[in-house]
Amino acid sequence: METIARLKIGEVAKQSGVSVATLRYYESLKLLDPADRGENGYRYYDRNTVQQVKFIRQAQSLGFSLDEIRQVMNVRDRGEAPCDLVQTLLQQKIDQLTIQAQQILSFKAELETYRDRWSKMEGRSLGSPICPLIETVDMANDPSRGDRPIQSLAATGSIGSHRS
């Protein structure tokens, strides 16, 4: 086997800016062609593997999942241009973001309503088990509570967090 035009996994990792483990993971997901094994057991990749990894990273930066990237690459591997698929997937992402943005703005307005209402409340009592302000939230009238995507973000500290 000629290894002059081939790269070891560590070289691909260095040139593409990802870890060796990431390359193995991509290979296990069939995002990369399987590496050839040398007699020494080392993995050897084609030179275009670096470009494939960079493409994967670029697609991820646009919010494409690894499954979606695999779909795009499969279309390309069949000899077809995947641009129509990419545009369709991108539009779906835009539509989803529009819905999420509306949900976030609605939730923000609700939080502002609570903030304004609570700022006017007098006699905050310690007689409540935890916090009387939060206990004024009426979940019975809003069955969607607990199902908001924004709540999971807020709970994880992804938004509104000032961690040190």
Choice between 140 and 115, residue whose per-residue pLDDT is larger: 115
Q: What are the DSSP calls for 64-94, one per residue?
A: --HHHHHHHHHHHHTT--THHHHHHHHHHHH
Domain of 131 in residue numbering reads as: 85-156
CATH of the domain at 22: 1.10.1660.10
Instruction: Check whether residue 95 and residue 140 sit in a common domain.
Output: yes
For residues 89 and 152, membership in a common domain is answered with yes
Instruction: Identify the pLDDT of residue 33.
Output: 82
pLDDT band at 142 (very low <50, low <70, confident <90, very high): low
State whether 94 and 37 are in the same domain: no
Q: Which of 103, 126, 107, 123 is nearest to 115 (CA)?
A: 107
According to the model, what pLDDT value does residue 118 have?
87
Q: What is the pTM of this model?
A: 0.69
Q: What is the band of 128 on the pLDDT scale with cuts at 50, 70, 90?
A: low
Is the pLDDT score of 157 beyond 70? Answer: no
In a domain, 26, yes or no: yes
Q: Could you give the angle at the alpha carbon of 135 between the alpha carbons of 130 and 136, nearest 5°?
A: 150
**Number of domains the chain is built from:** 2
The pLDDT value given to residue 148: 56
pLDDT in tens, 12-38: 999 999 999 999 999 999 999 877 888
pLDDT band at residue 145 under the 50/70/90 scheme: low
Report if residue 164 sits inside a domain: no
